[in-house]
Amino acid sequence: MMKSGVLASVAVCAALAMGGCASHSYVRDQVGVAEAHTTRVEGAAREALGRANAAHKLAEGKFLYQVVLSDDSVKFPRDKSALSPEGQARLAELIKRLTAENRNVYLEIQGHTDSTGGSDYNEALGRTRAEAVRRYLNEQGVALNRMSTISYGEDAPVAPNDTAEGRAQNRRVVIIVLF
């Protein structure tokens, strides 16, 4: 009887030890998988940061000037993205200036809105305004690979949005000319 009890105890201990090894092994394997995934994510983040820093260094000190389409003759009407004839005339002046300077420049075209409407709507409207300017410039001979568009929507106002005059000033497109 004692002999069978000792054997049963040994069998239970062996089973527990083997089970413990299996669970330790499983945990070790899972930790290894998680560490490998973390290493890949950290590597991708380091690469993205490196690319961003390189782009920043390229752009640093390359700002030439900006053109803002927001004065009284060029403001975009509420909920509209079409260029007015006055806006087209201002862009024609920009094209003449770029041609006269004879530089290979890059244009960042920023679309802005007032705070009327939801943020998703304003983001899309700002993008549509910037794209209208980009299309017009391209039709006038500016290469598409020399331009990019970005929408700030309502997030970068230049005037308070609590008056009609302030909202009108915020409905604009800004063209950043980079060398």
**Domain CATH code at residue 127:** 3.30.1330.60
Say which residue, 56 or 41, is predicted with more confidence: 41
Q: CA 62 to CA 100: how far, in whole Å?
A: 19
Do 139 and 56 share a domain, yes or no? no
Are residue 110 and residue 154 in the same domain, yes or no? yes
Residue 82: pLDDT band with limits 50, 70, 90 = confident
Inform me whether the pLDDT recorded for 11 exceeds 70.
no
Residue 51: predicted pLDDT: 63
CB atoms within 10 A of CB 167: 20
Same structural domain, 32 and 86:
no
Count how many domains the chain has: 2
Same domain, yes or no: 90 and 164: yes
Looking at the structure, do residues 55 and 78 belong to the same domain, yes or no? no
What distance in Å separates the CA atoms of residue 147 and residue 133, rounded to the nearest whole number? Answer: 10
Residues whose CB is less than 8 angstroms from the CB of residue 103 and which lie 6 or more positions away in sequence, other chains included = 64, 179
The reply to whether 124 and 137 lie within a common domain is yes
Last residue of a domain, one of 60, 76, 95: 60
Q: Does 50 have pLDDT greater than 70?
A: no
Lowest mean pLDDT among 41-45, 85-89, 175-179: 41-45
Q: Looking at per-residue confidence, does 35 or 56 come out higher? A: 35
Average pLDDT of the residues in 24-34: 71
Residues 33 and 71 grouped into a single domain = no
**The domain containing residue 158 runs over which residues?**
63-178
112 pLDDT more than 90: yes
Say if residue 86 is exposed, middle or buried (CB neighbours under 10 Å; 0-12, 13-18, 19+): middle
Same-domain pairing of 111 and 148? yes
61 pLDDT band, cuts 50/70/90, is very low
Look at residue 139 in the predicted model and tell me its pLDDT.
94
**132: which residues sit within 8 A by CB, 6+ positions away?**
81, 82, 83
Using DSSP's 3-state secondary structure scheme, residue 34 falls into helix
45 and 119 assigned to the same domain: no
